Amino acid sequence: MTPKQRAEKSAAAMWANDKASPWFGMTLDAVDEGSAEMSMIVERHHCNGHDICHGGVIFALADSTFAFACNSRNQATVAQHNTISFISPGHLGDTLTARGCETSLAGRSGIYDISVTNQHGQKIAEMRGCSRAIKGQNFPEEEE
């Protein structure tokens, strides 16, 4: 199995059990070893009292992207801690795209950077996620 095939199979297994990401309206657009891309359209129910996309929704998009990137090797992996910087607001009707990429993997710990942009390429947020591998796999895989 190639690394990309493993990433895709791991993502499919996770997506099948993920109730939150689809509920938000997210789609998983691409996945490879150490990376993922997801997107969503900002709808009325995503907007806060300032009539802009709620920061928690933007964080959820970045966090889900982080999850698919750090689980791409079929090793069950969770967030250890994350930080996000909001740069520009997302607006009703915007298509937000989060692209995540692994910057470091050492032992059970990884670091991932996730950029969220709108349909015009304007940067909306930057998130850094730190992961920790735990026991288990996302799908059964035999030793090769």
How big, in percent rounded to 5, are the helix, strand and coil portions of the chain? Answer: 25, 40, 35
**What pLDDT does residue 109 have?**
97
Residues 22-68 have pLDDT tens digits of 999 999 999 999 999 999 999 999 999 999 999 999 999 999 999 99
**What pLDDT does residue 72 have?**
97
**Residue 143, pLDDT above cutoff 70:** no
The answer as to whether 115 is a domain residue is: yes
State the Cα torsion 16-21-26-30 to the nearest 10°.
-50
Domain of 104, CATH number, reads: 3.10.129.10
The answer as to whether 78 is a domain residue is: yes
Report DSSP letters for 87-110, one per residue.
-S---TT-EEEEEEEEEEEETTEE
**What pLDDT does residue 142 have?**
72
B/e letters for 119-134, b = 16+ CB within 10 Å, e = fewer, are eeeeebbebbbbbebe
DSSP lists the bridge partners of residue 53 as 47
Number of domains in the chain: 1
The answer as to whether 144 is a domain residue is: no
CA dist., res. 144 & res. 140, Å (int): 12
The answer as to whether 108 is a domain residue is: yes
**What pLDDT does residue 95 have?**
98
The answer as to whether 139 is a domain residue is: no
User: Crossing angle, helix 55-70 and helix 3-17, to 10 degrees?
Assistant: 130
Tell me what the mean pLDDT of segment 128-136 comes to. Answer: 97
**What pLDDT does residue 96 have?**
98
CA dist., res. 144 & res. 141, Å (int): 9
CA dist., res. 111 & res. 132, Å (int): 9
Only one residue has tokens 């967030």, namely 79
**Residue 144, pLDDT above cutoff 70:** no
- Determine the structural domain holding residue 74 and report its residue range: 3-133
**Residue 73, pLDDT above cutoff 80:** yes
The answer as to whether 118 is a domain residue is: yes
Residues 78-103 have pLDDT tens digits of 999 999 999 999 999 999 999 999 99
The answer as to whether 138 is a domain residue is: no
CA dist., res. 68 & res. 70, Å (int): 6
